[in-house]
Each structure stands twice: as structure tokens, then as C-alpha cells.
């Protein structure tokens, strides 16, 4: 009896040792297996979300197209707003004044005697006075307007010596019918040095292209003052200009100098209205500013549509994938994993659609090089990488927010409810 118990006891002990060795071996092998890093886990979830979108290509393509169109509209309108702010926002160091004919708006109707130049130059606080004759191809708001600015050649060469090469400036000074055109105008009309072009009844020779950060210079063609006075039907040869560009010595004296100029000619045959250059542009572009404000509201509405579009797409996707979610739960996916999967799908929709829309907007604005011109005042629409990145970021944020509720629903779904659907 003792021997039988001893044999059974020894066999049980040996079996226990063997089981312990097998358990330790499995444990050690599991410990040796490398765990997935957080980055690898996120990439795997993103790959799974992308595959889920590819199973329904039509729905995914329509959502991406909707997001892209909305972001394109927002970025394009915001570029217009940026151009308007750049042209109309007054800076602390602004010293430019525009002397215009009182109660006149279009350059064709603003006629001032050129003799006002000497009188304005004698007013205290005035640093310089430049008579300017302006002829435009269209006085109403348009995207393709050529603005000729007749200026005294020597004064212009002195103040814009760094805007054009020495060779182009010398060519412009040596020919009475030559023009220095802004970069935006040259790209829009595809002009280069040596070409001739005709607009607004003025035929000019392109002496060169000027590089300037001023919005008014980028879309203008600068010609000799006497040449433009001769070409213009109104005003004859000399004696009449459209406006005076005045520079003051101290920015704090702008209001006082403007008031003194208007008082000087208040009782003359041609009274004046003097404003800061940005205020003059803002007055001329009142209709455009209102239009841009309305368009900006449409751009914001388009972004709200992105939120609704992505939310609707995610909800429909979750309803059609309830069984798939239950299968993932049986494979070990927890609620947090399912919520992350839904949020990643929303992020991909917003990110890819936003990049497509913002990239298309940046390309269109860069290639078009349009400028809104009205009453001889130009507002350039500049391309901005910052606006494009902002549009992409907003699309991503709105898409992720739109996916929060569907993510919570997916995380709380039970396995049984999913298989019963």
C-alpha cells in the first residue's frame, strides 16, 4: 500500500514539474515576443480605417469631394478677404495721402489743375507731392482692368529705383511711350520687356516689369505724365491730373495736413477731398468689401456643411458595419479601439478632402493672379500658404468633432446587438 501511494505521489510530482516547465517556457516565449509600439498601433488602425473606406468607394469619394469643394470655397474667399484687409487696413506708420476731386469717384471725372502741386508743397508737414494722371480701361468693378498711371519720370525713377533693374529704368526714361508694368499685370496679360500692348485707348511699349509689395503698383502700368495727358481725350496736353500723391513728414500730422489741403482749395473751382491712401481705397472698394463679407459668410457656411457631411457619412458607415464591429469585438477590440477607429476614419476624410481643396485653391489663386479693380483702385488677391494650412486644419478639426458621437455609439455597442442587426 505504501509503495503504491509513493508511486502515485512521485508520478503526480513529476507531472506537476513538467506542467510548470511548460508554463514557464510559454511565459518566457511570450515575454520575448516584441510588443507593437504606439506608432505601429496607430498605423495599423489607420490602415484598417482606410480599408473600411475603400469598401464603399462611391460614398467615400462623394464625401471627399464635398469636403474638398467646401475647403476650396473657404480658402479662396479668405484669400480675397486677406487682399482687401491688406489694401484697406491702416498701419501705424502710414504717411501717404490722396488728394482727389471733391464728390468725384471715377478717375475720368476727377480733374484737378496741375498747378495745385506747388501750393500743396508749401503746406507745413508735407514732405513730397506727386501729380498723377490715371486712365483705366473700366471704371466699374472688374477682375481684368488695366490702370495707366502717368507720373513725372524723374520723380518716379528716384522713388522706385529699387523696384526695377537699372537697364529697365533707363529704357523707360529714354522713351516717352514706354511703360513699367507691375508683376500682377504682366502675369495676367502675359507681357514682358519689349512687348507692346493697347488698353483704354493707350498704346504703350513695355520697358520692363517692376517688383513692388504695394497692391496699387502690382496691377498698374506706369507711363510718363506728359504722354498720358496727351493720350487722354480729356485734359488735353498738360495742365490736368487725376490726383496728387502726398507724403507727410510725420504720421501723426496726417489729419491736420489733409484738413489744411482741403481748406486751401475749398473756394477754388476744383475743391478737393484728401484722405489717407488706405481710406481712399476703402471708399472706392466699398461694394467689393460688402461682397467679400457676404462671400466669407458663405465660406463659413461651407465649413459647417463639412461638419454635417462627415457626421452623416460616419453614421451611415457605422450602421452598415454593426456586424463588422461585433466581429472586431470578438477578436479582442475594446471600446476605446473602436472609438479610435471611427475617429481615424473621420480624420482621414477631413484631412484628405481638406488637402485636395486647399491645394486646388492655392493653385488657382497663384495661377490666376487676379486683382479686383474699381474706380482706378486695385486690390490684389494674393496666394497664401498660411490660409491653405488653416483650411486643412479647420477641416480636420471639424471632421474629428463630427466623428465623436458615432465613435461613442460604436464603443458602447454590444456584441449581441451587432449580430442581431
The answer to whether position 185 is within a domain reads yes
Q: Tell whether the model's pLDDT for residue 18 goes beyond 70.
A: no
Question: Beta-strand (E) ranges in 104-177?
Answer: 112-113, 126-136, 147-151
Task: Please give the C-alpha separations between residue 233 and each of 206, 227, 407, in angstroms, as whole numbers.
Answer: 22, 12, 71
pLDDT, tens digit (0-9, with 9 covering 90-100), for 48-60: 666 767 777 787 8
Mark whether 226 and 332 lie in a shared domain: no
Of 237, 270, 303, which closes a domain?
270
* 261 and 291 share one domain: no
**407 touches 342 (CB < 8 A):** yes
Range of the domain at 107: 103-270
Model pLDDT, residue 218 = 79
Q: What is the pLDDT of residues 204-223, one digit of tens each?
A: 999 988 887 777 777 888 99
CA nearest neighbour of 160 among 205, 241, 217: 217
The reply to whether 190 and 136 lie within a common domain is yes
Contacts with 251 (C-beta within 8 Å, 6 or more apart), sequence order: 92, 93, 94, 95
Residues 258 and 366 occupy one common structural domain: no
Is residue 292 domain-resident? yes
Q: What share of the chain in percent tops pLDDT 70?
A: 78
User: Cell for 4?
Assistant: 503504491
Cα gap 393→313, rounded to integer Å: 20
Judge if 45 and 111 occupy the same domain: no
Among 15-19, 113-117, 203-207, 217-221, which stretch is predicted with the lowest mean pLDDT?
15-19
Whether the per-residue pLDDT at 5 is higher than 80: the answer is no
Q: Would the pTM count as exceeding 0.95?
A: no
**Do the domain assignments include residue 5?**
no
Give a yes or no: residue 223 inside a domain: yes
Strands (E), 87-233: 96-101, 112-113, 126-136, 147-151, 178-182, 196-199, 202-210, 220-224
DSSP state for residue 251 in the 8-state scheme: G
Tell whether the model's pLDDT for residue 77 goes beyond 60.
yes
Using pLDDT thresholds of 50, 70 and 90, give the confidence band for residue 421: low
Packing angle, helices 57-88 and 335-368, rounded to 10: 50
Of 270, 299, 325, the domain-final residue: 270
Amino acid at each position: 500500500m505504501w509503495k503504491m501511494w509513493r508511486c502515485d505521489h512521485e508520478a503526480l510530482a513529476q507531472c506537476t514539474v513538467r506542467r510548470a516547465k511548460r508554463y514557464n517556457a510559454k511565459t518566457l516565449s511570450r515575454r520575448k515576443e516584441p510588443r507593437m509600439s504606439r506608432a505601429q498601433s496607430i498605423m495599423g488602425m489607420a490602415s484598417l480605417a482606410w480599408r473600411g473606406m475603400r469598401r464603399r468607394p462611391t460614398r467615400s469619394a462623394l464625401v471627399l469631394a464635398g469636403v474638398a469643394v467646401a475647403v476650396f470655397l473657404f480658402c479662396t474667399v479668405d484669400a480675397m478677404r486677406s487682399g482687401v484687409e491688406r489694401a484697406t487696413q491702416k498701419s501705424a506708420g502710414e504717411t501717404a495721402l490722396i488728394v482727389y476731386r471733391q464728390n468725384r469717384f471715377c478717375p475720368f471725372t476727377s480733374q484737378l489743375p496741375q498747378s495745385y502741386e506747388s501750393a500743396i508743397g508749401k503746406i507745413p508737414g508735407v514732405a513730397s507731392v506727386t501729380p498723377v494722371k490715371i486712365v483705366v480701361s473700366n471704371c466699374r468693378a472688374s477682375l481684368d482692368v488695366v490702370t495707366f498711371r502717368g507720373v513725372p519720370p524723374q520723380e518716379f525713377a528716384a522713388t522706385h529705383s529699387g523696384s526695377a533693374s537699372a537697364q529697365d529704368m533707363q529704357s523707360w526714361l529714354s522713351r516717352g511711350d514706354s511703360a513699367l508694368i507691375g508683376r500682377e499685370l504682366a502675369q495676367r496679360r502675359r507681357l514682358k520687356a519689349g512687348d507692346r500692348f493697347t488698353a483704354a485707348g493707350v498704346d504703350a511699349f513695355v520697358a520692363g516689369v517692376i517688383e513692388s509689395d504695394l497692391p496699387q503698383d502690382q496691377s498698374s502700368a506706369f507711363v510718363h505724365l506728359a504722354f498720358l495727358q496727351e493720350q487722354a481725350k480729356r485734359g488735353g496736353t498738360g495742365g490736368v491730373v487725376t490726383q496728387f500723391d502726398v507724403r507727410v513728414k510725420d504720421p501723426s500730422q496726417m489729419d491736420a495736413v489733409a484738413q489744411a489741403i482741403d481748406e486751401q482749395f475749398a473756394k477754388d473751382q476744383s475743391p478737393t477731398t484728401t484722405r489717407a491712401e488706405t481710406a481712399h481705397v476703402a471708399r472706392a472698394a466699398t461694394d467689393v468689401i460688402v461682397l467679400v463679407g457676404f462671400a466669407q459668410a458663405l465660406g463659413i457656411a461651407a465649413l459647417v456643411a463639412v461638419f454635417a457631411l462627415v457626421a452623416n457619412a460616419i453614421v451611415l458607415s457605422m450602421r452598415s458595419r454593426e456586424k463588422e464591429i461585433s466581429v472586431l469585438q470578438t477578436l479582442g477590440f475594446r471600446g476605446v479601439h473602436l472609438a479610435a477607429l471611427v475617429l481615424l476614419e473621420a480624420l482621414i476624410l477631413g484631412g484628405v478632402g481638406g488637402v485636395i481643396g486647399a491645394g486646388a485653391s492655392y493653385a488657382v489663386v497663384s495661377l490666376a493672379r487676379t486683382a479686383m479693380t474699381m474706380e482706378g483702385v486695385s486690390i490684389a488677391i494674393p496666394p497664401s500658404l498660411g490660409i491653405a494650412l488653416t483650411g486643412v486644419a479647420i477641416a480636420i478639426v471639424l471632421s474629428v468633432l463630427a466623428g465623436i458621437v458615432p465613435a461613442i455609439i460604436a464603443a458602447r455597442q454590444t456584441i449581441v446587438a451587432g449580430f442581431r442587426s
